[in-house]
Amino acid sequence: MFRVGMIFAVLAAVSFTPVHVQEFCQSTNSDCPSHDKNPSDTFRSRWNISVLNLIEDLDQFRVSCKKLIESFPMDEVDGNFVRTVKNCIFSKSIPTPLRGPLRLAAVSKDVIEGILDLDVAVTQSEDFLNYASGGRLLPGSVPLAHRYGGHQFGYWAGQLGDGRAHYLGQYTNRKGEVWELQLKGSGKTPYSRSGDGRAVIRSSVREFLCSEAMHSLGIPTSRAASLIVSDEPVFRDQFYNGNVRTERGAVVLRLAKSWFRIGSLEILAQSGEVDLLRQLLDFVIDKHFTPISLDDPDKYLVFFSTVVNETAHLIAQWMSVGFAHGVCNTDNFSLLSITIDYGPFGFMESYNPNFIPNSSDDEGRYRIGAQANIGLFNLEKLLMALSPVLSKKQQKEANIILKGYGDVYQLRIHQLFKAKLGLLGEDEDDGYLIAFLLRMMEETQSDFTMTFRQLSEVSDLQLHSRDFTQMWALEDLSSHELFSDWLSIYLLRLSRQQNDGDVDRQNKMKNVNPRYVLRNWMAESAIRKAESSDFSEVELLHHILSSPFVTQETAEEAGYAARPPQWARMLKVSCSS
């Protein structure tokens, strides 16, 4: 056998969204996901919201920037020209409209109706195209660009900020939720550095699809409402090799409960703006960490402890679905511990702790197996940013909290992978069973997503007979010389689970092991079509990935659960977008 070590590095918590599992979905079945039956339909019944109450006129839709403008000093300098900004959190910055013609490439009905209270029919209007691409301001909007800094690839990068994003305002929906709307790709701001403030189709398709796919996987994330593309030429050197090519501009309308990140605090601490640091911390705690009292003398310490725990939880969830963020800089780590700023991400195919989704990451700093340790690094930088507002005693206590990060992460990883294997109760050998499986997967290059999914779908009888017909990932795994040993341990462990029938086990496992994730080759196929103004595969992927745990006929026909094509191995994704 082999020694069991730490398979993933360090740990995290939050449960998967429960999903109704069907064995197989025929497109003619009325219970199947379809373009006629959307997740927002479930939302309406859950919240008893009538379609008649949805906003049908965009002029009635209002956002507000009042809280932010009244809470913080604004940049005293006007204009979108690049500059060093001091003593503020935001700069006023007007979006630069995309040059037309404009086209709605994708829309999330779940976001439009379920969060923004809009009738999805409004997205077909010229007004929506203008509002969602920066050509016209929503009623109440005072567009802002956020000032922040960050550690990029381990080094302090100084002032960064929203270089191609504009904050449009807050929207309070009928459930009382407050969401912050932002355009990405909407032109220059004071923080654009040498950039043009634009985003291109390939990165925008990826952000739109992955934001919504991660939400459907039950992982905390920003959301994407729409994707609008234009014919405006944008020049990019995609792989930084001197081959500049003309691409087309695009804008994503995205939402989050907050866009504040670790870098939001770092820039203030680094600049010695301690009063403003306290002001921002109090605002974030008051609005987003409501169990913490602003009168508590340890409020910043409790805030730090919460972020430590939730960051560990988030990264463990990433790992449980094989997701690698790709650019885990401190400016891309949310204070609310949600997934933000989708760049060169990737879902791991063959299990490999050294999987690197970002072709710009020459040293593999952000490889998937290092993500938990990078989370720890980023939290160390958060603690440094908080140090000016912590007493010496609180700093010592914060360091003790930080040392507990690894235990939190390891506990959550253990819980998540037990669930992926359908293991109930506690057994001292469960960690060994999980590690044994992952080692075999690594040595046989077994597919991460489909190995766990097919273990969810295989019956007890098939496991005992090792009948893996049409189960390509399990066939790969079973080629390992120790597979029989592992299988015997696994079957013995399952046999000790009382009142847990085979079908119950399969259903529980299917609820946490997706059949479909946004693999790079799938995104690339959709992008190639989108660049030729064919958005059919973007729509198809968005539809399928909204129900990733449910077997769908259209997805099977498209090969989304099949062995990845050979050309997928040659794909590269970079920071250039």
* Between residues 11 and 549, the one the model is more confident about: 549
Torsion of Cα atoms, 559 then 563 then 569 then 575, to 10°: 60
Residues in the chain: 577
User: Cα separation of 529 and 538, whole Å?
Assistant: 9
- pLDDT of 242: 76
Chain mean pLDDT for the chain: 91
Does residue 410 register a pLDDT over 60? yes
Residues 509, 21 contacting (CB under 8 angstroms): no
- pTM of the predicted structure, to 2 decimals: 0.91
- Other CB atoms within a 10 A radius of the CB of residue 234 amount to 20
Q: What residues are annotated to the active site? A: 331
Contacts of 276 (CB under 8 A, 6+ apart): 72, 73, 87, 88, 89, 268
Burial 518-552 (b: 16+ CB within 10 A, else e): bbbbbbbbbbebbeeeebebbebbbbbbbbbbbbb
Quick one: pLDDT at residue 295?
98
* Average pLDDT estimate for 53-72: 94
Given a cut of 80, is residue 575 above it in pLDDT?
A: no
Average pLDDT over residues 421-449: 97
Residue of 22 and 228 predicted with greater confidence: 228
More confident residue, 38 or 415: 415
- Confidence band of 239 (pLDDT split at 50, 70, 90): low
Dig out the tokens for 365 from the structure: 């700093």
- Phi then psi for residue 25, to 5 deg, are -110, 120
The tokens for 55 are 């906003």
